[in-house]
Each structure stands twice: as structure tokens, then as C-alpha cells.
Structure 1
Amino acid sequence: MVVQIAVCDDEKIFLEDLVSQISTQFLENDNEIHINSYMDGKKLLEASEKIPFDILFLDIEMPGINGIEVAEKIRATNPFVSIIFITNRDDLVFQSIRYRPFRFIRKHWLKEELPEATEAIIKKIKDDNQYYTVSFNNSTMQIRITDIMYIESYKHDIFLYTEDEKHRIKSNLHKMEKEFEVYGFIRVHSGFLVNYRYIYSIDKTKVILNNKDMVPLSRYRIETVKQKLQLFTRGT
């Protein structure tokens, strides 16, 4: 798998140094990558219409379209892209939280903070490409775990829901929770696990997914669900 990376910063010297350091970090971990660099957000947005980027390294402060605006537009069409913001201004961090950044890196601490960020993102990419084997009718098939939106327990069966399909297996939700928690699945109800990547919003009684499906939410689980969602979206 080739990891598609976009790097955007309006300072040419810093941009070149950042691209060089990113290349070094990924190649040291034997990852095949393709890096595209941009000096303004508009060109990156144009490129994103043709290239399905896996990772964005974005300077927050840029003339014209800033990094937060770029993140908003790309996230709308590529919800699973991992975003790493580069900034010297802590006050801008809070404005960007809604776009679920994977990490923040301070420009003055690039050499110290980039290795940890790349190590974490490499692990995430590997986790995102894990598969679960489903057996039925004397045959098997593999489903990419990140394609599973939520898991439901009903009577003695487990149902796995993707955007287009529903798969029934024999198991129990307790076992599934132990197996899938590491991949970002959250127990929201006695009968449901939800993949955090698909959570659009949470209210007092339900979890609303990106495709507008609704999953029941137990009241006593609300705070735990919010805490876990925050941890997963921060990439920790």
C-alpha cells in the first residue's frame, strides 16, 4: 500500500525541511509513500479532488485559505483522512478541534515532535487495514474492520453493518467488544458497539452516524462514550 501524503505550508524553506523529515521518518519504518507538497491551500484543495490523501500535514496560518479551512473542506469529502496541524500558535488549536486532528506539531519543536507523530500515524494506518474474517454458508469472506460502522447483538446473533451490507455471525457482544475496542469501537448500549470513525453526533438517547443511521445510547454510558470518542479522535 502506498501512503498518499500532502504537506502544505506557505514558507518554502520550512516546507522543504518538513517534507525531508517526513520522508526520512516513513522510510525508516519501511513504508512506501508518495508526498505532494503545496505552498497554498487552494492548490491542495484542487489536488484533493483527484488524489485520495491518507495524511495531511497542514500549516494552520496561511494566506488566503488557511489550514483549518482546508481541513474542513477535505474532511467533508474524505472523512477518514488523518490531519496533523503544524503551528506556533496554541490559541488556534481549539478552533481546529472540530475537524478531528490526529496530532498538533509545534514548528519550533518539529524535530522533537514529528517522530512520535509519524510513529503513531504509521500504527494507525496498519490498524486501519486490518481485516475480520466472516464465515457463513460453508464459505468465508474478509471485511476491512474500518468499513464496519457498528455491531449489533440481537437474540443469539451478531450483526456487522457496513455502509452497503449487513453480515450475521455467531458470537457474543462481550467477546466482540474485547476484540474490536483496539480498533476504535465503543460500547454505547448493551446491544451495540459503534466505530468512532462514523460518529457524527451524540445526544441523550442516541448516537447519530455520518449516514444518518441512529444507534441507541444508554444514559449511564454517555460520559464514558464521550471520553473514549475524545481519546480516539485525538489518536491516543
Structure 2
Amino acid sequence: MRIAIVDDETIYSDCLKKILLDFSNKYGRNFEIFTYESGEDFVDTLETKEYSFVFMDIYMKKINGIEAATTMRSKGHNSILVFLTTSTEFMPQAFSCHAFEYITKPFDAERVEKVLKDALKVIPEESVYITLNVSGMDIKILLEDIYSVLSDAHYLDFHTKNGKVLRCRMTGKQFLNLIDNDERFLAINRGIIVNMDKISEIKEGTIAMEGGDVYPVQIKNSSKIIQAIQDYNFAKIRKRQKRGNIS
């Protein structure tokens, strides 16, 4: 996931870069971060680079942040745009550029993390990964490649893409904490967690997954579980609509 930081004050761009790197390590995000000290330098990259996020300072010499963002939008870039500012004076113009949010300087990690988490809800999740210790080896795996997670005593069996199963000493609660309770994953029965993006069919008290695995749904909570899956799928549609409206 490419992120651009556009700010002519390196004290802020360096601080923001550190916060982003800490966030990526904490939550298993693949962030490729580019820093630019002027709006001109950033605009010059738009012919060859696409960014998932752009953190844009408003007050810059020559091309200011509003002008740089307007140019970015005119070139068809749908990046999540977050303005950095010492004042709310330009907020009407900022949001005319379809800004997602703004962060007031000086900022702290808590504020940046809040904006990141909100923004990540409306963009694809394919770059999220976790690290599992399997037979003494650390293995990185994308969350999108995990189809289901089954509990077996003190271990979890991760059923993944292409039918591969990875076994790791971990509890279901530890897994959910590790992925920061990623909304794709739902416990459908005792010791069974599924990736809702990989469900192929719901039928007669069971859930069939892509790849052929079929799991029973907990009877007493079946209505709530089915409703949760329907709500998730509806939310996915809304996300795609929001994503399309950014441009």
C-alpha cells in the first residue's frame, strides 16, 4: 500500500512517517511510504505512481496543498486524502477536493491511528498480513489467504489458499487480538472462525467455504450469525460505493 506524505516541514513528515511505520508493524500492514517536500514534487509523480493514502500539508510555498490535491483529483486519482494543517481556515476548499479527513498540527500517534483505522474501512484489505510461528519458523500470511481457523486444544489450524493448512500454537482469542478483530472474520461455532469473504454458500445450518470445507453453524446463535454475514456483505457493497464516490 503506497502512502505519500507531502509536507515542506520535515519535522512533521518525519514524525508522521514514524507513526505510520509503527502502525504498519503493529497491525501487519504493508506500507510503502514516499515523502515529498513540495506540492510540485508530488504532482510530478502522478503520471507514474498511484497512492492509497495521501497526507497533504495545506500551507506550502508555490503550489499549496489545496492546489496539489485539486491537480491530483483532475488526473483521476482516487487516493484517500488527509490534509495536515495548523488552521481550519481552508477546510471548505479542502473538502471540495473530496478530503477524507484533516489532522491539525501538532498531531500525535493516537489521532493519526484513528484516522488510519477509519480510512482503512473503506479501502481494500488485501495487503494485511500476520506472522505465524509454524514449526519454529516465522511465516507471513495475508489475511485474505486465510479461509478458516479451527481450534484444536492449544493450537489453531489455519486453512489457507490452495488447501494448505498451517498449525500454530495460539488461541482463538489471541488470533482475533492479533488481527485487531478484523471484521472479515466471524466465529460461527465453538472453535471455528471463518473468513466471510470466502463463504460460498449458507445452507441448512452449515456454511460452505471456497475450496470445499463445510462447517456447522452454532444452533442457538444461528440467526445472529446469519444476520452478521448479511450485514457484512451489505457493508462491503456500501464500501465499494463510497470508494467509487471519492473521485
Q: Could you tell me the TM-score, scaled by structure 2's length?
A: 0.53
Kindly indicate whether the alpha-carbon contact (under 8 Å) linking 2:82 and 2:101 is maintained by their aligned counterparts in 1: yes
Which of 113, 122, 129 in structure 2 is aligned with 1:124? 122
- State the shift of 1:108 in Å: 1.9
The whole-number CA distance in structure 1 between the counterparts of 2:233 and 2:92 is 30
Which residue identity lines up with residue 16 of structure 2 in the other structure? Answer: L
Hey, what does 1:169 align to over in structure 2? none
Runs of 5+ unmatched residues, structure 2 = 128-143, 145-196, 201-229
**CA gap 1:184/1:85 in 2 versus in 1, 3 angstroms:** farther
Please list the CA deviations of residues 32-74 of structure 1 after superposition, one character each: whole Å capped at 9, or x if unmatched.
1110101001011111211111110000111111111111111
Give the structure, 1 or 2, with the largest relative contact order (CA under 8 Å, sep 6 or more): 2
Hey, what does 2:101 align to over in structure 1? 103
Q: 1:34-113 counterparts in 2 under 5 A?
A: 34-113=32-111
The whole-number CA distance in structure 1 between the counterparts of 2:242 and 2:117 is 21
Hey, what does 2:235 align to over in structure 1? 182
- State the shift of 1:8 in Å: 0.7
The whole-number CA distance in structure 1 between the counterparts of 2:118 and 2:83 is 14
Please list the CA deviations of residues 152-183 of structure 1 after superposition, one character each: whole Å capped at 9, or x if unmatched.
xxxxxxxxxxxxxxxxxxxxxxxxx9666523
Is residue 85 of structure 2 the alignment partner of residue 32 of structure 1?
no
The whole-number CA distance in structure 2 between the counterparts of 1:91 and 1:111 is 23
CA RMSD of aligned residues (A): 3.2
Aligned residues, how many?
Answer: 153
Q: Who wins on radius of gyration, i.e. which is larger? A: 2
The whole-number CA distance in structure 2 between the counterparts of 1:60 and 1:73 is 14
- State the shift of 1:112 in Å: 3.5
Q: Could you tell me the TM-score, scaled by structure 1's length?
A: 0.55
The whole-number CA distance in structure 1 between the counterparts of 2:118 and 2:80 is 11
Identity %: 21
- State the shift of 1:121 in Å: 2.3
Kindly indicate whether the alpha-carbon contact (under 8 Å) linking 1:7 and 1:58 is maintained by their aligned counterparts in 2: yes
Kindly indicate whether the alpha-carbon contact (under 8 Å) linking 2:122 and 2:243 is maintained by their aligned counterparts in 1: no
Q: SS in structure 2 opposite 1:15?
A: helix
